[in-house]
Amino acid sequence: MSNVTVIGTQWGDEGKGKIVDWLASRADIVVRFQGGHNAGHTLVVGDQVYKLSLLPSGLVRGKIGVIGNGVVVDPKALMTEIDRVTAQGLVVTPETLWIAENAPLILPVHGALDRAREAARGDHKIGTTGRGIGPAYEDKVARRAIRICDLAEPETLDWKLDELLLHHNTLLAGLGAETFTKEQLKDFLAEITPRLLPFSCQVWDRLDEARRAGRRILFEGAQAVMLDVDHGTYPFVTSSNTVAAVAASGSGVSPSSVGFVLGIAKAYTTRVGEGPFPTELHDQTGRTLGERGHEFGTVTGRPRRCGWFDAVLIRRAVRVGGVSGIALTKLDVLDGLDEISICVGYELDGQKIETFPSAPGAQARVKPVYETMPGWKETTAGARSWAELPAQAIKYVRRIEELIEAPVTLLSTSPERDDTILMRDPFED
């Protein structure tokens, strides 16, 4: 039996929440290993809709949830989320939720700096959520972050706040934004410390014990490969690495623990925020995909940009993300279309290219080269076996497999957790 790591292969919003929730029934522990509360998963369970940002999706299944050291934690947002799902009937206690004691905190000063910077960028804005994720990761790398374990040491916290404010207040003042006092941050931390500290523990040690005991671990990625700070559409990316390799460093386990890497991809493509999007559709087809797919950001509520499936980008994500198999979601959104296009390459300044460039200017200039297939009139919504799928839908899936050089191992045909076709159980790999 293998552990499983789930990552997005596009720009996020691929339906990872449903897939992780579905896989969690086979797991014992579900681990978040990177990102912050800018990520969002929507889970539909009967008549209940759970919107999660920081909490691992496995908590909905009654599994142990883990927030690893690779996550930046906004403690106020976390407690608000815990209160919300508790009111919906979930049990979230220090026994069911483990938070790495060495995870960095997002403080009010981080969000203020994030928003001030974005406003100052003007026409060159990145499209951040303004929630402080980037500045919190900067503090981590610069070795001035306030971590959860610091909350238990008032002396340490005191001088670290001095260091942090020296940096951030200088930047905020330069941007014409309001600065912060140490007392403001101390009051903020004093309010959340009694609730947060009981959840903190040495996550790496508990996960090692679980691994030795043969317990199944599901690693739950946030965002997606094309938002990876190294491999994505830089600078229009998130502030962390999103590839499967980070599941190890972001939770404190060995690289061999990552297991089967399941990449999630929509049967078309969406993106929230700014940045290049070669297959974006500005016509009625694009609007139809958005309406049928209910394409609005879980966290931001912003409408998602929609376009055709980009096989070139996902082939790249498969290679750099170490993807073993693909979970293809929202196939039912394509029902009834006369024709469906797949991007199989690009043109850049009159030349054909087969990979996505790294330079921002070149990324903005690439034009998609399409292969068009007939659509299908039959419905795929709710299908739970290959026999229920239209022949043309099967051809579409098979063509995707050829182009991205990876098998489709799981197919989702509606938001409901049981409307899933499983070709290969990742946990049995």
Given the residues 37, 140, 168, 266, the one annotated as active site: 140
Annotated binding site for Mg(2+): 13, 40
Q: Burial of 171 by CB count in 10 Å (0-12 exposed, 13-18 middle, 19+ buried)?
A: middle
Given the residues 37, 41, 168, 266, the one annotated as active site: 41
- Residue 13 annotated as catalytic: yes
Annotated binding site for GTP: 12-18, 40-42, 304, 330-332, 412-414
- Residue 367 annotated as catalytic: no
| Cβ partners under 8 Å of residue 347, min gap 6 | 353, 366, 367, 369
- DSSP states along 171-214: HHHHTT-----HHHHHHHHHHHHHHHGGGEE-HHHHHHHHHHTT
By the 8 A CB rule, do 272 and 11 touch? Answer: yes
- Residue 140 annotated as catalytic: yes
- DSSP states along 12-36: S-SSHHHHHHHHHTT-SEEEE-SB-
C-alpha 296/C-alpha 299 separation (Å) is 9
Annotated binding site for IMP: 13-16, 38-41, 129, 143, 223, 238, 302
Annotated binding site for substrate: 298-304
C-alpha 222/C-alpha 12 separation (Å) is 7
Q: Please state, as a whole number, how many other Cβ atoms lie within 10 Å of the Cβ of residue 274.
A: 16
Q: In what order do the strands lie in the sheet with 217-220?
A: 200-201, 97-100, 64-67, 29-32, 217-220, 4-8, 260-266, 325-329, 408-412, 420-422
3-state helix, strand, coil in the chain (%, to 5): 40, 20, 40
Annotated binding site: 12-18, 38-42, 129, 143, 223, 238, 298-304, 330-332, 412-414
Residues with active-site annotation: 13, 41, 140
